[in-house]
Structures are given as C-alpha cells and as structure tokens.
C-alpha cells in the first residue's frame, strides 16, 4: 500500500471507532445492554487500529531501508569508475 492508502485506511478505522463510541453513548438502553452490544465491535476496531499501526510502522521501516539502500548504491556508482580507473593503471 502507498503511504496515502495507509493513511486513508487509518482514517477510516478512526472514524468507525469514533462513530461506534458515539453510538454507545447515545443509545437509550440500559448501560449493561449497550456495552454488550457495542463493546465487541469497538474492541475489534481497536485491535484493527493497533494492527494497522504496526503494519504502517513496518512499511515505514521498509521504505526507509529502501531509501538507505538507494543512497548506498548511488555512492557505490559514484566511486566505482574512479576505482576501476585506478586499478587499470
């Protein structure tokens, strides 16, 4: 997923979690019944949110590693012609 897609997915989860929490507060049922109905969904969304955060962190790490490798490759490509020339002398 691109960074834009990751952020969009995280925002959807945040909005869904917020809506479920709002519904839980606004339902005119006894608190016990409301909690029984809404909490499993909220717990699942919170777990999904946590998993997405871990996933996003992993993607960021891979992106940073990829950029570091590109930078190292550019350095090697810059030095290689000079080393090749020195060896041929």
Whether the pLDDT of residue 34 is over 60: the answer is no
Distance between terminal CA atoms of the chain?
49
How far is Cα 74 from Cα 80, in angstroms, rounded to an integer? 10
Give the chain's domain count.
Answer: 1
pLDDT of 84 over the 80 cut: yes
30 confidence band (pLDDT: 50, 70, 90): low
User: CB neighbours (10 Å) of residue 63?
Assistant: 11
pTM over 0.75: no
Least confident of 15-29, 43-57, 58-72: 15-29
Q: With bands split at pLDDT 50, 70 and 90, how would you rate the model's confidence at 22?
A: low
Nearest-angstrom CA–CA distance, 64 and 66: 5
Q: Alpha helices of the chain — where are they, by DSSP H?
A: 3-26, 31-88
Overall average pLDDT of the 37-48 stretch:
74
Domain containing residue 45: 3-88
Token couple for 7: 């952020």
């Amino acid at each position: 997923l691109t960074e834009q897609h990751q952020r969009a997915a995280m925002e959807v989860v945040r909005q869904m979690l917020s809506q479920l929490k709002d519904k839980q507060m606004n339902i005119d049922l006894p608190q016990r019944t409301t909690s029984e109905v809404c909490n499993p969904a909220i717990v699942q969304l919170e777990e999904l949110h946590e998993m997405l955060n871990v996933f996003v962190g992993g993607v960021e790490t891979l992106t940073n590693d990829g950029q570091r490798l590109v930078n190292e490759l550019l350095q090697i490509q810059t030095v290689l012609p000079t080393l090749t020339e020195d060896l041929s002398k």
